[in-house]
Amino acid sequence: MKVGTSGLVALLVLLSGCVPSNPDTDTFDDKSLRTAGAALSQTRTVSGLLQTSYDGRMLRPTALAQLRYSEDSLDTATGAFTELNPPSARDAQYTRLSTLLGEAGDLVAEARIAVERSEEARYPRLVDRLDALASKLERLEGRLR
């Protein structure tokens, strides 16, 4: 049984794609790329939810449910990235992406509260800020690819 369990553990580690906390530049760039992509995906999702809600095309329960998943997913991606110790050559990139991730987190939380309170008046402004942030993330992603 011993071999079986150690084999299973190795498989799970491989599958979980866990990244060492002191990654080299390539691993760090790859992790940054995937984190930026995940943040972009959730930012655009929330923007879509607000836009369709504002246009009366979205159901409020669906928006609330999806907002919850988007916020969780963003928090997980952010946490997994900011806990890394970046190689010195990547300090600027680390700071830049961490800032964008922080802004994204705040904006998504703001969006959740707005939808919770059905404050449709605030949606257009939030959508613009979310889209602006998404473009920055997209540019960063483009540079990393």
Partner 1 sequence: MKKLFAVALGILTAIGGFVDIGDLVTNATVGSRFGLSLAWVVVLGVVGIAVFAEMSGRVVAVSGRPTFDIVRERLGPRVGLVNLFGSMAVTLLTYTAEIGGIALALELGTSVWSYFWIPFTAAAVWVVLWRAKFNLLENAFGLLGLALLVFGVALWQLGPDWGQLWHTASTAAKPSPEPWPTYWYYAVALFGAAMTPYEVFFFSSGGIEEKWSPASIPTMRSNVLIGFPLGGTLSISIAACAAVVLLPAGIEVESLGQVALPVAVALGQLGLAVAILGFFAATFGAACATGLSVGYSIAQYLGWTWGKSVRPRDAARFHAVVLLSTLLAALVLLTTIDPILVTEFSVVFSAIALPLTYLPILIVANDPSYMGRHKNGALANTLGSIYLVIVLAASLAAIPLMIWTKVGTT
Taking CB under 8 A as the rule, does residue 129 contact partner 1? no
Residue at 131: amino acid letter: D
Q: What are phi and psi of 18, to 5 degrees?
A: -75, 145
Site for partner 1 in 43-72 (CB under 8 A): 44-45, 48-49, 52, 55-62, 64-66, 68-70
Question: What are the C-alpha distances in Å from 122 to residues 12, 81, 99, 119?
Answer: 44, 30, 23, 6
State the DSSP string of 1-21: -HHHHHHHHHHHHHHHT---S
Query: Measured from the CB of residue 145, what is the shortest distance to partner 1 in angstroms?
Result: 6
Residue 13 structure tokens:
């580690």
Taking CB under 8 A as the rule, does residue 14 contact partner 1? yes
In this structure, the number of other CB atoms found within 10 A of the CB of residue 119 comes to 11
Residue span 66-105 as binding mask against partner 1, x where in contact by CB under 8 A, dash where not: x-xxx--x--------------------------------
Taking CB under 8 A as the rule, does residue 4 contact partner 1? no
Binding positions for partner 1, rule: CB under 8 A:
11, 14-17, 30, 34, 37-38, 40-41, 44-45, 48-49, 52, 55-62, 64-66, 68-70, 73, 134, 138, 141, 145
